[in-house]
Chains A and B, each alone.
Chain A
Amino acid sequence: DIQMTQSPSSLSASVGDRVTIACLASQSVGNYLNWYQLKPGKAPKLLIYGASSLQSGVPSRFSASGSGTDYTLTISSLQPEDFATYYCQQSYSTPLTFGGGTKVEIK
């Protein structure tokens, strides 16, 4: 199984801050890398697919990059509605696996 390691596991930031979350795969996932946003009581949301493609309807302050085993998600200017938990997921091979999550909290 491909192991996905996210860092940090949590962070505190202020509105307007630039935030970066890292995701490291135990082997290459060939850009089959997705990012999701989870908020309590709401349906999870796909933000990024294919390592860097923005899902329709997702604000442009979200961006992502990476290749091989190393990927990052960046929020250029954190907004109040962005406080949530973010997960990376590889869809390169089954079993599909998720990172442990990064909780973005208000400073």
Chain B
Amino acid sequence: EVQLVESGGGLVKPGGSLRLSCAASGFTVSNAWMTWVRQVPGKGLEWVGRIKRKTDGGTIDYAAPVKGRFTISRDDSKNTLYLQMNSLKIEDTGVYYCSTDYWGQGTLVTVSS
């Protein structure tokens, strides 16, 4: 059974950092196109970024609002996807999901002073 479990969310001050993790089971992260998506409370979905599978070059793309501040990576030995978030802004607040064809339940990030 495919499962994705996000963790690492929490409350952080503007300008701070967080690293989100997405532990996968039932498939191999390096063989999949993995995506981070966020949902601002009460609003819609916003694509954050994506990493292609290794056989497709492993290219990483980011949404403009997070480019230069967020970094997507993966640890094949742990079958885990990461989202390193630096220089956090209030508008980065939301529930962050990792996904392929399946999604995790998300982890809440709150940026507030």
Contact = CB atoms under 8 A, between A and B. Distances in A.
B102 A43 contact: yes
Given A44-B97, A44-B99, A97 B47 contact: yes
Contacts of B39: 38
Q: Which of under 10, 10 to 19, 20 to 34, or 35 or more describes the interface residues of B?
A: 10 to 19
A38 B63 CA distance: 22
**Looking at chain B's contact residues, is the secondary structure mostly helix, strand, loop, or mixed?**
strand
A101 B97 contact: no
Interface string B34-51: 010001000011110010
Contact of A87 (B44, B50, B105): B44
Interface string B19-44: 00000000000000001000100001
A44 B35 CA distance: 13
B105 A43 contact: yes
Interface in B32-84: 35, 39, 44-47, 50, 61, 63-64
**Looking at chain A's contact residues, is the secondary structure mostly helix, strand, loop, or mixed?**
loop
Contacts of B63: 95
A60 interface: no
A98 B105 contact: no
Nearest to A56: B101
A42 interface: yes
B61 A95 contact: yes
A100 B4 CA distance: 25
- Of all A-B residue pairs in the complex, the 6 with the closest CB atoms, nearest first, are A96-B47, A44-B103, A98-B45, A94-B61, A43-B105, A43-B103
Interface of A: 36, 38, 41-46, 49, 55, 87, 89, 94-101
22 contacts: A36-B45, A41-B105, A43-B97, A44-B99, A44-B103, A45-B103, A46-B102, A46-B103, A55-B101, A87-B45, A89-B47, A95-B47, A95-B61, A95-B63, A95-B64, A96-B47, A96-B50, A98-B45, A98-B47, A99-B44, A101-B44, A101-B45
